[in-house]
Amino acid sequence: MGQPGVAGRAATTCAVALLLGGCNAIFGFHEGSPLEPSQTTAGGQGGVGGGGAGPAGGDGGAAAPWLAGYGWRKQVTIHADVIDESLANFVVGVIVDADAELAARAMEDGADIGFTSDDGTTMLASEIELFEPDSGRLAAWVHVPLLSDAEDTVLWLYYGNPSRPPSTAGDTWGELFHGVWHLSPDESGSPTLTSEDSSSYGNDGSSDGVNVMPSQVPGVAGTAYSFGANDWVNFGHPSNGSLDFGLGSFSYSLWVLASGSTTAIQHPWAKGAVFVPEAGYSVEIRSAGWRIVLDDGASEKTANFGPAAEFDGAWTYLTAVVDRSLQEARVYANGEHRYTVDIAALSWLSTASAAQLGAPEPYVGLIDEVRVYGIALTDAWIAAEYANLDSPAQFFTLGAEQRAP
C-alpha cells in the first residue's frame, strides 16, 4: 500500500502558525444553526485531522441492530487499503475536525459518546481525549480487536444517551502500552499540573515548579504541548519498572514539530542516555541530524532518522524499536524504516534516570502523542499509526447520521 503523502502534513508556514496558537480553523456551530445530513468537517493534518464524510443517510435503515439507550449513531469505516497487514488489538484514533450533529446531540463533555463493533451492539473500549461541544470537534481512541487488511473494518459511533453510560477508557490501552500521553489540556490552567498517562501504568508527568508545564496548541490529535526553553515534563523513574526494559524488547514513539534544529542537542524525549556514560534511551535533535541514543552505561549505539533539513518545521512521527530477538534497533520517520543498527554488544538498558519531555537539554517546538510500548513494533503497526494520524480522512470515513428506530 502507498502511505499518505507528505502534502497531508503541515507546511512550514502552518508550523509557524501553530507555534503562535493554531493553524486549522475550527468551525463552530452555534445553538439554532440549521443541521444538514453529514454536516461534518473533514481535514488534513497541520492542526487536527478529520474523518472523511460519507454519503447522506437518514433515520435508522441500517442492517446492524441498535445499541439500547442511544438516540443517534454514525458508521465509521476504516479502509483496508491503508493497512499493510491485519493488526490485533490496535487502537484507532477517531479524529474529527467538526461535526454539527455531534455538537447538537452529544453531552457537553462527550461522556455519552461510545463505540461498538460492526454488529452495532458489542461495546468497544474507548477513551474520549477531547470533545468540543460548540463545534463537535472530537479526538477519541477506540480499541479494535482486529484491524483487517483484507476488508474494511466497520465500527459504530453512538451518541445522545441521557443516562451517561459508564466509561471504558481504562480498558482502551492494553498491556503492550507502557505509557500513553495525549498531552491534553487541564481546565484549571495551573502550570504545575500533571500530564496524565492513559495507560494502565499511570505514569503521570509534572513540572517541578521552576521549569513549567508547556502551553497547549492544536496537535495531530486533540492538543499538543508547545515547549519553550524553560518548559519540560518530568515523569520520574516509575518504581513499577514500566519504563525500563533491561534486556527486553520495547519501542517508543512521538510526534514532534521542531521550530529549528541547532548545533546544540535538544531532547524531545529522554530516559537516560544523555550524559556519557548513562544507561537509557533518548531522542536527540540537532542540526547534524536527528537520532536515537541507546546506552548501557558502558557504551552506546545510535541510529539516525535523517537530516534535520528534512524534518524542521513540519510534524514528524518518530519511532524507535529495540528488538532483542534480532539484536537490532530500527528507527522510522513518518512510518518509513530509515536505519538499523546492531545492538548485540549492548547489555542492560534500564536506568534510574527520570523520563522527560523537552529536557534535560531544552527542546523548542511541539510534541504530541507520546507512547512507550513493551514490545518490538512491526513495520505494519508503525505504518498504520502514522497513516491514522497523518491523514484521518484517508484512514476512515464517517458516515451519515442515523436516528434510533
Look at residues 130, 117, 123 and name the one whose alpha carbon lies nearest to residue 167: 123
* Per-residue pLDDT tens over the stretch 142-181: 999 999 999 999 999 999 998 888 888 889 999 999 999 9
* Per-residue pLDDT tens over the stretch 346-400: 999 999 999 999 999 999 999 999 999 999 999 999 999 999 999 999 999 999 9
Torsion angles phi and psi, residue 84, rounded to 5: -70, -40
Residue 82 CB coordination number (10 Å): 20
Look at residues 211, 164, 216 and name the one whose alpha carbon lies nearest to residue 187: 216
Q: Is the peptide bond before 277 cis (omega within 30 degrees of 0)?
A: yes
Tell me the mean pLDDT in the region 14-19.
34
**Which of the four pLDDT bands, split at 50, 70 and 90, describes residue 277?**
confident
* Per-residue pLDDT tens over the stretch 47-61: 334 565 544 344 444
Q: What Cα–Cα distance (Å) separates residue 19 from each residue in 15, 47, 214, 223, 243?
A: 6, 11, 12, 12, 30
The answer to whether the beta carbons of residues 321 and 329 sit under 8 Å apart is yes
What pLDDT sits at residue 9? 37
- Look at residue 168 and give its three-state secondary structure: coil
* Per-residue pLDDT tens over the stretch 186-234: 555 454 456 899 999 999 988 765 557 788 899 999 999 999 988 989 9
User: CA–CA separation, 373 vs 353, rounded Å?
Assistant: 18
User: CA–CA separation, 83 vs 388, rounded Å?
Assistant: 10
What pLDDT sits at residue 25? 32
Look at residues 357, 272, 344, 277 and name the one whose alpha carbon lies nearest to residue 318: 357
Where are the alpha helices (H) located in 140-297, listed in sequence order? Answer: none
